[in-house]
Every structure is written in C-alpha cells, then in structure tokens.
Chains A and B, each alone.
Chain A
Amino acid sequence: MDRALTLHLAIIAALALAFFILPAYHAGNLARIMVLAIYAMGYNLAFGYTGLLSLGHALFFGAGMYGLSLSMQHLGTPTLPALAIALACAAVVAGVVGALALRTKGVAFMIVTLMFAQAGYLVALYFSEWTRGEEGFVLPQTMRQIAGIDLTTAMGRYFAALVLFAITLLIIGHIVRAPFGRTLIAIRENEARATMLGYDVQRLKWIALVISGTISGLAGATYALLFGYAGASFAAVPYSILPLLYVLLGGAGTTLGPLIGAAFMIYLFDLSADITDAYMLIAGVVLVLLTMFLPQGILGTLRARRFKWLP
C-alpha cells in the first residue's frame, strides 16, 4: 500500500473515531463539513485537476438536491432510488451543460457556466409550486432512512455522511493517479501539448465535467437527505462560489484540500456568526487574500515546500 492511499484511509478512520471523541455540537458540524467536502471534491476534479474554472456548480448541486427531494416529496420514492434519480439528474445536466460550455474557454467558460446556473436557479423559482422557491420545503422525517437506518439521528447522519465522503475520496484518489487523471492534469498544464500528443482533449474534459457534476449532485442530494431541507438558495450564485472558496483555500488539485478548506471555512463562518449576520463578508475577504497571497492554498503550498508525495 502506498503513502497516498494510507493517508486517505487514516483520514477516514480518524473521522470515524472523531464522532465518539468530539462533543455533539462539533460532530454535527463535521457531518455538514463532510457533505460540503464531497461537493468541493467534485468541484476540485473540474477546477483543480482539469483547470476548468466553473462558476456554475450550484446547478449540479441543485440538480442533485431537487432530483432527490422532489421525487421523495411528490412521488414518494424511497431513499435509494431517489438517490439514483438525483445522480442521474446531475449527470444529465452536467452532460448537456458540458457539451455546450466546453466549446468556450477561460473567461467565457466562467461566464457561460454562471449563466447556466443562473438560469437553473430561476427555473427553480419559476416552478415554485413544486419547489416552494427560496422558502424551500422540509423532507418528511419518516422518509429519511436507508434500509431501516434512521438518518435523522446524529449518529445515522454522521456515518451516512462519512460513508459517502469515504467513497468519494477513494474514487477521486484513484482517478487522479490513474492514467485518466494524469491526462487531465496534462490538459490543465498545457492543453495544446496534450492535443498534440493525440489525446481527445474535448472528450476528456467533458468526462471530467460530468464526473465532477455528478459528485456535486451527490453532495446536493446528501445535503437534502441528511439535513431534511431543499431550497432554491442552494442553487443560487453563492453556492457556486463556495466550493471554489473551499478548494482554493485547501489547495486546488490536492485530494484532501477540499476537506481542509471546507472545515476551515465552516468554522470561520461559525465563529463570525457571533459577530455578524453578514457571513459572506468573511468569504469575500478570504477569497481576495487567497488570490493575492496564497494562490496554491494550504495543502498546495505544503506540497510545493515540503511534502512532494501529497496526492
């Protein structure tokens, strides 16, 4: 077993232990952090590894969230099939958006993804008869369970989040070190050269975006399932910016950066809540400082300076 895989397994084991050691409040926080870290890991595959700076991932997060919650709420679908519907929704949306948006590059790609996400958010508002718009709706407590495991208890919620987090981390950890992931990094570093070497760059970027969107959708569905609420604000612009923030802070193109970034920011938001309601102010300040002084993020900087083997 190599160092990277050992590290990932150790982190998962530590997170499992943390539930029994940490006070209930922090365990609750950590469950939320793991779900948002799934989202950030999905984002990281597009942004950190493939170099696709999307400003519209809230669309995929929202597709997953509504795919699960609408089918549970209005069709009475049980949890596991609803989760499958959510993943399918996110994958289809990502596939269509990717096929269109990937015709553009750089700044145009950022604006196109932003526009698509904005359109998606407006669609959620437009169909407020079902989605209940900004106000959102609460998922019935009795439905939130998998195979008899109650996901509304602190323990059920924590370990459901951990299992999904662990699966995503291991998949991502595998992808980025497999030839496919290596090629994505090559595209990020020098797209012209990757094309010249004979890689079908357009297709690979599309696949990366679809995987990234599907993982983001998984995070959205998990969020709705574990915290029992779905609302249009989760599909709005700030929810596209937050994974960018988590990934930039933790370190773009590192497997554990999203977890560290999400944990750091959520505790920062939590602490700032005592002082002000304007929590996005903190996000703004951190974004500006990061672009100015720490463009590689925490783990990226550590990897550049000291631990070259970090995945």
Chain B
Amino acid sequence: MDFGPHLMLAMLEGAVTAAILALTAMGLSVVFGVMRVVNVAHGEFYMLGAVIAWFVATTLGTHPAVGFVAALVIAPLVVGALAAAADKLILQHIDYDPERTIVATIGLLYIIQQGTLMTFGPDASPVEPPFNHRIALPWFEWGEDGFAFYYPWGLSITSYKLFVIVAAALILVALYLFMTRTKAGLIMRATQQDSQMAQAFGIPVSKVYALVFGLGAALAAIGAVLVVPIQQAHYLMGHDPLLLSFIVVIIGGLGSLPGTVIAALLIGMSDGVISVFFSPTLAKIMATLAVAMVLVFRPQGLLGKKAH
C-alpha cells in the first residue's frame, strides 16, 4: 500500500478509537464536572461493561444481533447501578473529599478488576459483532494516464466499525440534548454550578450525585459494549481507556464537555495514526509526557477557561 491509502486506513481506525474514547471520556468528564471528583475506577466500569456484554451474548446464545442489543441495554444499566451503589456506600461516606475519593476509587479499581479475574478468569473472550461486512474503499490517484480510480488491497473497513462511529455520535448528541433540554439535565447543571445553592432550592444533591456517578459509569459501559466485538473482553482492558480518558479530559479542560469531544477526536485520531507509523510504546510515552506537561504548564486544559 502507498502512503496515501495507508494514512486513510490509519485515520479510519483512529476514528473508531476516537468514537469509543469520546464516550468513555465523556463519562469521566461528566462526573468530574458535576461532582468535582476524579474517578480512578472509571476504566474498570468500562471493562465491566465489556465483560457483561460477553456474558449476556453467551448466555442468550441466539443470533449475535439479539445478544448485542440486549447487552447494549443491560450492561450500562447494571454498571450504572453498581456505580451508583458504590457512590452511596463509599463516596458519600467520605463526603467527596477529592484526595480521599481518589484513594477510595483506586481501592474500587482493584476490587472490580481482581473480582473479575476471580470470576471471569484471565483469558480474553470475543463477542461476535451483530453484522460485519467488509467494505472496500476506493482510492484516487493522478497516474501516467491521468486520473485513476482503484481499490487498493487492504484499504477497507467493516460495516460494524462504521456503525460504532455513528452510534457513538448519536449517543453523544442524545447526551447533549439530555443535559441542555431536559429537567434532569437542568438539575445536574444547577448542581454543577453551586451544589449548596441547589440543595437550598430543594434539589436532592446526594441523589443527583449517585445518578451522575452511575451515568458516567454507564457511558463507559456503552463504549465497551460497542468496542467488544472489535476487541476482546479481558479483565485488564480498563487500563488504557482510563489513561486515555484522563488525557482527553485534561487536554479538553476538566469538566468541559465540548472540549472533551474535541480532545477525544484529536487524541483518538493521532493515536490511530501514530501507532500505525511509529512504535505504539513510543507513541504512548510521548502522549503521556505531553499530557503531564499540559497539566503542569496549562492546568485549565488546552480549551478550558482559566479559573478565577
């Protein structure tokens, strides 16, 4: 393959990564935006979503499409409920102290991860995609005999991957409408702006917190259900999404939702492109250091406003 088609393939793969990443990071961002806490266990909620999707699909054992749709409903609900329960039991108990929350969610991370290792086991398990057609993509070129149009070998994408991109976009639009157009969204934004004032106006802040924490985890679970037909379910799969989500949320500005989407596109695409052309480990080192530097020198994020 020539450089052009190769780059296009890398960008398509990057777009899939970006779509999943946008969902997962959005979950982290919503939680940080409203509750002002960092959930280190976020990647494990993602992993749990994937494992539940596998469980639902294998238990039903019918057509992959049925299992997939069932997983898309069940996994976010179960994971969301679990996260809300963890919020009620643990985070409320420590009064959302930022540092203690991080320590507690680190604990939660290991409980979920190792609990999954004990029940689900150490092996990766695949989930069949609901549909999977290979779509060859054309490439244009100015050749010796003028404009040429051909299908380079290897330049293709599956219909399922296109579906992932569309589905993630739809869910993000739905989330945006939910936050800006519904009463529940209004309540969340009110809590985000001033939780004490919201409490004074009769908003059940602790309930809102539990719901937001559940919503954040559910978003990660949806991302995982979408990704699991491409990538297998594994008990350690939450690690990379957690770091990438951190990176996205930090670059986008902590708690800024549009910033999160833009940063997810940026990071997802560049991750796709860089890891095709360079060693993935080197790409990760550069990305991690770059983000640390952003936090050090521009803590409000690249797109966030400076705090007053």
Contacts and interface: CB of A to CB of B under 8 A. Distances in A.
Interface in A271-296: 276-281, 283-292, 295
B288 A292 contact: no
B118 A292 contact: no
B110 A281 contact: yes
Given A101-B296, A108-B295, A119-B292, A287 B99 contact: no
A172 to B, nearest CB: 22
Interface in B22-67: 38
A291 B291 contact: no
B192 interface: no
A110 B281 contact: no
A292 B104 contact: yes
A244 B103 contact: yes
B93 A287 contact: no
A115 B295 contact: yes
A305 interface: no
B289 interface: yes
A103 B295 CA distance: 9
Given A53-B99, A126-B282, A281 B111 contact: yes
Contacts of A112: 292, 295-296
B168 interface: no
A122 interface: yes
Contacts of A284: 106-114
Q: Which of the listed residues A53, A237, A248, A287 has the most CB atoms from chain B within 10 Å of its own CB?
A: A287
Contacts of B279: 126
A76 interface: no
A122 B292 CA distance: 14
Interface of A is mostly: helix
A291 B289 contact: no
Interface in B82-134: 90, 93-94, 98-100, 102-104, 106-115, 117-118
A280 B114 contact: yes
A116 B299 CA distance: 16
Q: Which of the listed residues A244, A286, A291, A295 has the most CB atoms from chain B within 10 Å of its own CB?
A: A291
Contacts of A237: 239
A279 B285 CA distance: 28
Interface string A91-103: 0000000001101
A65 B299 CA distance: 32
Interface of B: 38, 90, 93-94, 98-100, 102-104, 106-115, 117-118, 239, 243, 246, 250, 279, 281-282, 284-285, 288-289, 291-293, 295-297, 299
10 closest cross-chain pairs (CB), A and B: A284-B110, A287-B107, A281-B114, A288-B107, A278-B114, A284-B111, A115-B292, A119-B288, A291-B104, A284-B107
